[in-house]
Amino acid sequence: MSRITQVRIALPAYKYSPSEILSATSHWLMSESHERELFERFVSSSRITSRYFVLPVQEILQQRSNARRATIFAEHGTVLSMRAAEATLKAGRVHPTEVSDLIFTSCSVPTIPAIDTRVVNELGISPTVRRIPVYQHGCAGGAVGLTLACSINRGSTLLLATELCSLVFQASDFSGGNLVGSALFGDGAAGVLIQAHGAGLEMLACESYLIPNSDDMMGYDIKDDGAHLRLKRELPMVLANEAPQRIHEFLKGCGLEVEEVSAWLIHPGGVKILEALESALSIQRPRSRYAWDVLAKFGNMSSATILFVLNEYLNSGQARAGERVMLVGVGPGLTLELGLFEYKSGEPH
């Protein structure tokens, strides 16, 4: 038995509204009038009211080497990871030495070893902890980490997702994917505690589904100056065409229909993705509001985002014993990460 009992988030210091973003980037794309118009349109239509970054936007706009990106990620990513881990363990009243497994997910900047080693050393987690770093699942990494944590839990498993998406920004890339990403992505970290007992979400079933022949829809194009974000405009349509049947079949295998799911925790990859999935599955907005709330308050933080959605649900005060909750992660591949959970109240053990 595995239950998600605690979720906590950590945010960096610099917070920006859409108007502040546009003001701070006023000199970017000055010589590219069409691209500047597109960027402004993407920002205004994103429905994001605030985003957080580890650096001021003026510094994010500067070109930097991959070595510098890795240094910034190791420094700021470790701080955010530590804050998320400490808050999560404290909420669950779990001492760091009681953590049996540590899953760390990120796709911002690949570092070897992953920065979870710093968390182990600085937080005092046992050196015998089983570490599982996850990198190439992109935005789906948080969902992958959740189902993996629930599957392997031996007592108290800690899942950390830390993303500094701002470090992937490429100032000289005027492609549609980079413009959309610059209007959507932010930085943040989240921690999740998985235990055998206590109030929380118990996993009933999970599935990973790779949509055939869709690997060009989303990902990173690796070039000489680093990673360049790839986002095809057809992505929402592909999801709308492929995801509903897969989700229906997954729920059917669990003896459920879409209408019997009380809460839908969907990766808020953007307005079009959320609207496409809601429409295709006939999901009423109140049941998927947690994703919209996260999109508005934080933007898209890649693998950490679905854990922010989970945090909104668990800490909303709306969870009720016995209700079914569906988690839908979306990542490069294209991959659907599906998880069905039931909320359980705490009971003596």
Query: What is the structure's pLDDT at 16?
Result: 97
Cβ atoms within 10 A of the Cβ of 35, count?
A: 16
Q: Report the SS3 class of residue 329.
A: strand
The average pLDDT across 147-170 equals 94
Q: Which CATH architecture has domain 200-344?
A: 3-Layer(aba) Sandwich (3.40)
Q: State percent of the chain over pLDDT 90.
A: 78
Local confidence band at 345 (pLDDT 50, 70, 90 cut-offs) = confident
The average pLDDT across 152-163 equals 95
Query: What is the structure's pLDDT at 347?
Result: 61
Cα atoms in the 13 Å half-sphere on the side-chain side of 316: 20
The average pLDDT across 48-59 equals 96
Burial 87-109 (b: 16+ CB within 10 A, else e): bbbeebebebeebbbbbbbbbbb
Query: What is the structure's pLDDT at 250?
Result: 97
Amino acid at position 99, single letter:
V
Q: Cβ distance 301 to 328 under 8 Å?
A: no
The average pLDDT across 173-177 equals 88
Integer Cα distance of 40 and 325 in angstroms: 36
Domain ranges across the chain: 3-195, 200-344
The pLDDT tens digits for 114-133 are 999 999 999 999 999 999 99
Q: Which pTM value belongs to this model?
A: 0.95
Local confidence band at 161 (pLDDT 50, 70, 90 cut-offs) = very high
Residue 326 has pLDDT above 50, yes or no: yes
The average pLDDT across 283-306 equals 96
Output the average pLDDT for the chain: 93
Query: What is the structure's pLDDT at 349?
Result: 42
Q: CATH number of 3-195: 3.90.1150.10, 3.40.47.10, 3.50.50.60, 3.90.245.10? A: 3.40.47.10
Q: Which two tokens stand for residue 245?
A: 């049947």
Instruction: Name every residue whose Cβ is closer than 8 Å to that of residue 120 and which is 6 or more positions away in sequence.
Output: 102, 127, 129, 131
The pLDDT tens digits for 231-265 are 888 888 899 899 999 999 999 999 999 999 999 99
Query: What is the structure's pLDDT at 197?
Result: 87
